[in-house]
Amino acid sequence: MEVVSISNLSKIFNTGKDNEVEALREIDLTVTKGEFIALIGPSGCGKSTMLRLIGGLIPITSGELSVNGKTPTKAREERDYGMAFQSAGLLEWRTARKNIELPLELMGWSKAERIKRANEMLELVQLGEFARSRPAELSGGMQQRVAIGRALSFNPALLLMDEPFGALDEMTREHMQDQLLDICHKTESTVIFVTHSIPEAVFLSTRVVVMSPRPGQISSIVETNLRAGDNTADNTKIRNDERFYKKVTEVREALYGK
Amino acid sequence: MGNELTRFSTWLSTALKWLAPLIFGVLMVTVWEVLLLVINPENFLLPRPSEIFSELIDDLSKISDDRSKIWAATKTTGFIMITGLFWGIVWGVATALLVTLSRAANETLTPIAVAINAIPIIAVAPLFNNWLGLTSPRSNQMVVMMLVFFPIFITTARGLTQVDSQQIELMNSYAASKWKILRSVRIPNALPFFFTALKLVAPLSIIAAIVVEYFGGSQNSLGALITASASFADYSKAWSVVVAGSIMGMGLYFVALTAEKITLARDRSPRLLLIAWQKITGRTTGA
């Protein structure tokens, strides 16, 4: 089943002005249900722009783009996806639980339902005892986990993530990667994940989409899928596996255009 | 043992926080008193604190039979200050909301507001008196209101607009309406800004209210009482009126401070002000 379908998509900012920028050129990509797509490429190649286009946050310039068979705007209005950014973007005056409740509030859930779901999400991201803490009292990694709990709170079938672990240290990052995979398997989510890290892209994804410098184009797609559908696979084993290093090399070569 | 020690040191630091400025204040007043007594006991231009306070107490003791001039004047000026402050806040906040929600309003109203702010408002008080009646409270209220309006407007507007762009993007990803974004992100973000402005304009409003009374308005006001006392060389009276004005200004500042503390303490919801109000008045209307 196609979740995201992109064909011949281009995006130009400030068309016709002095500061015109061609961000994306002729992108073709189809994402099916349950896939984990990692988007990787040099800075400024339009990865984040692509995510925002899929999210319907900015309009496309030309080409076709549909999310769950709808226009991105319609999909956004029907809350088909959850989004997470590099910085957690929590509301500092709300507690962790209240931050997770935010999208649910907007969707008109009752208070009891909201609290129940927010508590479940806090358990999921292993922050159960921090429900009443404010963002300032949490570490960067914990804030990021709250943000992921918030993105998942309303059970979106599609997750758009823009370098969500970019600001984390290596240990927290690996821990978060394991948790994210676990959550995605439990919820059967489809994920589009922007990252700067080649090992992260390889470890998480089923496919790595490698992009060229601006104007962003898809230069190659590397099939990774190290778990091959086995969700119980040992993450440490995968990280140490020879196939993992082979795929890392493959993505690196694709990235540097060897 | 250790626990009690901690509790004692907490108590001590709280006590010191209040005691230090209190002791310093008393010391300053004492120095003023003693210095004048030593240097020039016959001084008449600058009365001693004891004279000022006895004048104040003497006047206020007449409240019961309604002959206290300072109390009557405080009520008149206080009314003008509170109403002027209230309408200044209402218009300031309303304009800030308007320019936040509408780009056209922002482009039209902000330059006008800036231009109005450039007018030396107290200097036009005599003109207001001519328009709205020399003894009417209207012109004085107008001056206070205009003085309060601008800091409230510009600061609140900044708080409403200076929001993390990622938070707005996030709200957009939830397809949140303009109103929901206002309610959930912009207003909570603006509250600390608003209270900073409020703490600034609260004492300013008492200054404005008294100064405009030098030009007109009720003859039964703090400003009029100061001018009258000064022209009769009754300086301890004039100073006791100044003290009354200061007390009012401080009281207002503490009200603003308390409102800020209550609102920002929890989830920055103005709802808390309502709850506090219900607690004070003992009313328990539904939330």
Per-residue pLDDT of B178-211, as tens digits, reads 888 998 899 999 999 999 999 999 988 999 999 9
SS3 A77: helix
Residue entry with tokens 């109203």? B109
CB-CB under 8 Å, A77 with B174: no
Query: Is the model's pLDDT at B93 over the cut of 90?
Result: yes
Q: In sequence order, which residues have a C-beta less than 8 Å from that of residue B149 and are 6 or more positions away?
A: B88, B91, B92, B95, B113, B116
Strand A2-13's sheet: what is its strand order? A21-32, A2-13, A62-67
What confidence score (pLDDT) does residue A183 get? 81
Task: Of A60-64, B12-16, B163-167, give the lowest mean pLDDT range.
Answer: B12-16
Q: Which residue among A77, A83, A105 sits closest to B170, beta carbon to beta carbon?
A: A83
CA distance A191 to chain B (A): 16
Helix/strand number for chain A, H first, E second: 9, 9
Over residues B151-178, mean pLDDT: 91
The CATH architecture annotation of domain A2-80+157-256 reads 3-Layer(aba) Sandwich (3.40)
Which residue has tokens 């029907």?
A78
The whole-angstrom separation of Cα B241 and Cα B55 is 9
Q: In this complex, is the C-beta atom of B170 within 8 Å of any C-beta atom belonging to chain A?
A: yes
Total Cβ atoms within 10 A of residue B138:
16
Identity of the residue in B164, B173, B184 whose CB atom sits nearest the CB atom of A83: B173
Asked if B236 and B185 count as a contact pair (C-beta separation under 8 A), the reply is no
The pairing of strands A36-40 and A190-195 is parallel
Residue of A nearest to B192 (CA): A93
Q: Look at residue A16 in the predicted model and tell me its pLDDT.
A: 79
Q: Can you name the residues that pair with B276 across neighbouring β-strands? A: none
Tell me if B174 and A107 make a contact (CB, 8 A cut-off).
Answer: yes
Residue pair B100/B182 in contact by the 8 Å Cβ criterion: yes
Is the pLDDT assigned to residue B223 strictly greater than 70?
yes
User: Region A145-174: what's the mean pLDDT?
Assistant: 85
What integer pLDDT is reported at residue B285 of this predicted model?
A: 43
pLDDT surpasses 60 at A253: yes
Give pLDDT, residue B283: 55
Mean pLDDT of A167-187: 82
Q: Running DSSP on this structure, what letter comes out for residue B182?
A: I
Residue type, B80: I
Q: Which residues pair with A37 in a beta bridge?
A: A192, A207
CB of B176 within 8 Å of any CB in chain A? yes
Determine the residue type at B74: T
Residues in chain A: 258
User: What's the complex ipTM?
Assistant: 0.82
User: What SS3 state is found at A155?
Assistant: coil
Largest CA distance in chain B: 76
DSSP 8-state secondary structure symbol assigned to residue A233: -
CA dihedral A203, A207, A208, A212 (to 10 degrees): 180
Distance, C-alpha A44 to centroid of its chain: 17
Task: Measure CB to CB from residue B166 to each of A85, A105, A106 and give the nearest one.
Answer: A85
Q: Strand, helix or coil at B152?
A: helix
**What pLDDT is attached to residue B269?**
62
Does residue A95 contact residue A86 with C-beta atoms inside 8 Å?
no
Q: Are strands A62-67 and A2-13 parallel, antiparallel or unpaired?
A: antiparallel
Q: How far apart are CA B28 and CA A125, in angstroms?
A: 58
- Domain assignments of chain A as residue spans, ordered by start: 2-80+157-256, 89-155
pTM given for the model: 0.79
**Highest mean pLDDT, choosing among A124-128, B9-13, B27-31:** B27-31
| Beta-bridge mates of residue A67 | A4, A70
CA distances from B228 to B172, B209, B239, B242 (A): 61, 16, 12, 13
Chain B's closest residue to A85, CA to CA, is B166
Query: Does B5 contact A at CB distance below 8 Å?
Result: no
Find, among A191, A200, A118, the residue nearest to A160 by Cα.
Answer: A191
pLDDT-derived band of residue A87, with 50, 70 and 90 as boundaries? Answer: confident
β-strand partners of A12: A22
A121, containing H or E segment:
helix A111-124
Looking at chain A, which residue has its C-alpha nearest residue B175? A77
Mean pLDDT score of chain A, rounded to an integer?
86
Distance CA A179, CA A145 (A): 9
Nearest-angstrom CA–CA distance, B226 and B74: 12
Statement: residue B286 has pLDDT above 50: no
Nearest to B176 among A95, A98, A106 (CB): A106
